[in-house]
Amino acid sequence: MFGTGTAAVISPVGELAEGNYKMIINDGKIGKLSQKLYDTITAIQWGSAEDKFGWIVPVI
């Protein structure tokens, strides 16, 4: 499970809680898919991977 956003990129969720109930997700560790998405998105942002979909737009 992860959250995503412009500045957050991909942020893993390690725990959900409400009142006295607490759910630990994946032993609090980042999952394989979350890590792959993070690595891919940041590689595109930093120019070390091809931007196949034209997501990166220069801001002048």
Query: Would residue 36 count as lying in a domain?
Result: yes
**What is the span of the domain harbouring residue 7?**
2-46
**If you search the block for the tokens 């690595």, which residue do you land on?**
39
Regarding pTM above 0.95, the answer is no
Q: Tokens representing 51?
A: 């931007």
Query: Would residue 52 count as lying in a domain?
Result: no
Instruction: Write the DSSP assignment of 19-48 as a string of letters.
Output: TTEEEESGGGPPPHHHHHHHHHHHHHHHTS
Query: Would residue 37 count as lying in a domain?
Result: yes
Q: Tokens representing 46?
A: 């930093």
User: Rounded distance, CA 60 to CA 52, Å?
Assistant: 22
For the chain, how many structural domains are there in total? 1
**If you search the block for the tokens 């034209």, which residue do you land on?**
54
Query: Given this model, what pLDDT does residue 52 score?
Result: 93
pLDDT band of residue 18 (cuts 50, 70, 90) is very high
Query: Would residue 13 count as lying in a domain?
Result: yes
Query: Would residue 56 count as lying in a domain?
Result: no
